[in-house]
Each structure stands twice: as C-alpha cells, then as structure tokens.
A = this chain, B = another copy of it.
Amino acid sequence: MGTTERHATIADVAALAGVSVGTASKALNGRGSLREETRTRVKEAARQLNFEVNAGARSLHSGRTYTVGMITTDTIGRFSIPVLIGAEDALGAGQMSVFLCDGRDDPIREQYHVKTLLSRRVDGIIVTGRRTQARAPIAPVLPVPVVYAFISSTDPEDCSIVPDEEGGTRKAIEHLLAVGRTRIAHVTGPEHHHSAQVRAAAAAERVAEAGLALAAPPLFGAWSEVWGRQSVGILLAGGTEFDAIYCGNDQIARGAADALRAAGRRVPEDVALVGFDNWDVMAESCQPPLTSIDMNLEGLGRSAAEMLLAAINGAPSPGRHARPCQLVVRESTVPPHRPA
C-alpha cells in the first residue's frame, strides 16, 4: 500500500464529467437545478477518481471547519478517556472531527495547543482533565466557545459539565442506611484533593441527616489499594466499631476488602463496602464484587459535546451544570441470593 494516487480536485471531476467546476460542485452538493443525468455523470466521475472534497478549501468559504479541539488539562487518562469517547461519539454524529491535545499539566504546552487549535480554526473547544477541581479558564477571551467537562472553570460564566459528587455520595450513604448500616466509616484520598473534600463533607452531612454520625473522622490518605488496606488496619487498631465503609474510590475499597478478609471480617455481612468511580476492572474483580458510584463520564462527554454544538450554533449554556451519579449495586453491600 502506501502513498499512491494523488488527491483529485473538483476540477478533475468536472473535466472528466465534461462540465464546469461550478456545475460539478452543485452536482456533488445537491444544490442548484441540474439534469438528473448530469448529476449522476458527475457523481460517477467523482467515484472513479476517488474524489474527496478538500474540507480546508471548503472551510475558507463557510467559515466553519466542522472540527473541535479537545484539550486535557493534565494527561489522557482513566477519567478523560470516557469523556473523550462520549464527546467523540456525539460529535461524530454531527460530522465533526476531534483534535486531541494532551496538556500534560504544563500551562505553556496548553497555551501552545490553544494557539494551534485557533490557528486550525476549530469551531469550539472542550477542556477536560483528571480532577473535578475548578481550574482557571484556558484564556480570558476566545473567538470560539469553550466547554469544560468533568473539570470545571473557575469563571462561573463559563460552561462546565461536572458530575454531582455530592449527590453521588448521598446515594452511597442512603444505600448503606437502606441495608441497615448505622456505623459508617469513610476512607478517602488526599485531604487537599477537591473530590476527597466534597465527598467527605457530603458523607458526614448525609449521615447527620439520618441522626447519626460517622463511625470515625474521615481518614484521608492516597487513592490507592495500599492505603485502603492500611486504613482498615487503622480502624481496627483504633477500636472503631463500624459496619460499613464508604470509600473515596474503588481502589481504596478494594484494598479495604482485602484487608477486612485478611482480618477475618466478612464483606458484606460484617462490613459493607461502597466504592466510587465504578471502574469495571476494579469493581468486578474485587472480592466480593464492589458496589460503587458511577459518574457516567461518557454521558458527561456527550453532554459537553452537545452543549458545545449548541453554543457553536449560537445557543450557549453558560454556568456550571451538575450531572447525576448512579449507584451500581454489587455484592459488597448486598449478599447474593438475598437482595435487600
């Protein structure tokens, strides 16, 4: 294979079909009034030459490129992928293509990407990242609309689509209460991490609303299995009585499951476990499989793309838009064959 065949131009097609370029253009785009015979003759010529219209040249006219840029604040990872897939999906349906730019947590690199995207005259930009924490806008003012997905902008006028982590947390706690747990502990990521803060606060709040308190102050650590295991050690050593742990993410939950089993506590009979992220690989191979909160990242991406398209078409939706999370129940809270 490799490089063969030159790109055919519409002039080539017109010549082959024996018409003018104007006519060829009309024929191919279904515009103007042409004899049916001419239309098919042109189309046949185009087919024969493998003609694909030069989108760049066309954009020169239309002012639109049917192209959007997607910038990751940090790096392309576990959280940005689903967002990316969702966006790609929604945009592809609208015949748009996506330029992917990896920011790598480097503001210079990011600015470079913004410049490049503008130079390529993208119709709009989606910004995403690994964390939900708000970030500074990618530029004070831009000639195209911007939508932040998952991550959000510190400017409240910017359009941001974010998961409702507080609502998700409430669902997790409500589920634990529903399966009869009253002594709920909370183990999560770094104290300075936005998601850790939000989830911890929401958990405490929801538990309080039920007239209860967390079994122990939230344990902040790392987003890792190792920390999940350690935290159980801490809880047990501290003499905390608990019949459930709401974990900040699935890895922590999984570490906790392993440590609990090693300590002779049964999951979910003695201790029920809820994770966060609903990361299939983790949740499903956990022993037992893990109940978790799903942020519906793909939906977030799709939503962001749709709002960007709307903004491109002149109907922006400024502001922060929170999308609901979903509880996915597995055996770490409800034993098999004995649904709650």
- Report which A residues bind B (CB closer than 8 A): 1-7, 50, 52-57, 59-60, 65, 67, 70, 75-77, 81, 84-85, 88-89, 92, 95, 97-102, 115-121, 137, 139-146, 153, 155, 157-159, 224-226, 251, 254-255, 258, 281, 285, 287, 311, 316, 318
A1 touches B139 (CB 8 A): yes
B311 touches A119 (CB 8 A): no
Taken together, the copies of this chain in the complex come to 2
A84 touches B76 (CB 8 A): yes
Say how far A336's CB is from chain B's closest CB, in angstroms: 15
A142 touches B75 (CB 8 A): no
A52 touches B285 (CB 8 A): no
When C-beta atoms are compared, the residue in chain B nearest to A85 turns out to be B76
Bound Cα distance from A303 to B87, whole angstroms: 28
A99 touches B102 (CB 8 A): no
Residues of chain B contacted by A141 (CB below 8 angstroms): 1, 4-5
Bound Cα distance from A285 to B101, whole angstroms: 30
Q: Contacts A2-B318, A6-B143, A287-B258: A118 and B52 contacting too (C-beta < 8 A)?
A: yes
From A6, A75, A141, A255, residue with most partner B Cβ within 10 Å: A141
Bound Cα distance from A311 to B155, whole angstroms: 44
Interface of A is mostly: mixed
9 contacting pairs across A/B (C-beta < 8 A): A1-B142, A4-B142, A5-B141, A56-B56, A56-B59, A76-B85, A85-B102, A97-B120, A98-B99
Residues of chain B contacted by A50 (CB below 8 angstroms): 143
Residues of chain B contacted by A146 (CB below 8 angstroms): 1-2
Residues of chain B contacted by A287 (CB below 8 angstroms): 258
A119 touches B52 (CB 8 A): yes
Q: Contacts A1-B155, A102-B85: A225 and B115 contacting too (C-beta < 8 A)?
A: no
From A55, A77, A157, residue with most partner B Cβ within 10 Å: A55
B142 touches A52 (CB 8 A): no
Bound Cα distance from A168 to B50, whole angstroms: 42
